[in-house]
Amino acid sequence: MTILFYFSILIDVKRKLWYNKNMNYDELVQTAIKMTERSYAPYSHFHVGAALLDKNGHIWTGCNVENAAYGPSNCAERTAVFKAVSEGAREFEAIAIVGGPEAADGTVTIQDFCPPCGVCRQVLSEFCTRDFKIVLANGNGEQKVFTLAQLLPESFSLK
Ligand SMILES: [Zn+2]
């Protein structure tokens, strides 16, 4: 039992180091792409998926959830952040975000990069450090990686 405990810690640490060293966000991007299938977007027909990596190596997922009144709609990124925070996670490494329009047959095609909206950038700044990574991927499999500081310079804070 004790050996298993230490082994699981070792796996977590190795996974974390692997992400930090190699900056390989493929798993995170693939998880975000998968989440576009869960998107509830009957109004915009634009499906977004997000995958948020916390400091312990856990991936929290999110998709956009729209509403008939439009205003109460929630973005994929904030869905992921709120799920994570409500379950106790507070420190994060990176988020992958992808999005694309819905075809006539209901499938989603990732085309261009899908950067986070201003509201999501502000929500991320509440929990993430300035070097937190925001990973975007397009339909050609290309990735762009930004820090939060790059996408939200001079952000609002009470600190
Ligand atoms: Zn947003």
Q: Is 113 exposed, middle or buried (0-12, 13-18, 19+ CB in 10 A)?
A: middle
Helix (H) or strand (E) holding 77: helix 76-86
Domains of the chain: 2-151 (3.40.140.10)
Please give the distance, rounded to the nearest whole angstrom, from the Cα atom of residue 148 to the centre of ligand 1. 14
Please give the distance, rounded to the nearest whole angstrom, from the Cα atom of residue 124 to the centre of ligand 1. 10
Q: Tell me which of 27, 37, 66, 77 is the catalytic residue.
A: 77
The DSSP output letter for 55 is T
Per-residue pLDDT of the chain (159 residues; tens, 9 = 90+): 566 666 665 666 555 555 554 569 999 999 999 999 999 999 999 999 999 999 999 999 999 999 999 999 999 999 999 999 999 999 999 999 999 999 999 899 999 999 999 999 999 999 999 999 999 999 999 999 999 999 999 988 887
Active site residue 142: no
The DSSP output letter for 23 is -
Please give the distance, rounded to the nearest whole angstrom, from the Cα atom of residue 74 to the centre of ligand 1. 7
How many residues in the chain? 159
Please give the distance, rounded to the nearest whole angstrom, from the Cα atom of residue 83 to the centre of ligand 1. 15
Please give the distance, rounded to the nearest whole angstrom, from the Cα atom of residue 122 to the centre of ligand 1. 9
Please give the distance, rounded to the nearest whole angstrom, from the Cα atom of residue 132 to the centre of ligand 1. 17
In angstroms, rounded to a whole number, what is the distance separating the alpha carbons of residues 51 and 154?
Answer: 25
Specify the pTM: 0.85
Axis-axis angle for helices 76-86, 118-127 (nearest 10) = 20
Comparing CA positions, the residue from 98, 84, 101 lying closest to residue 25 is: 98
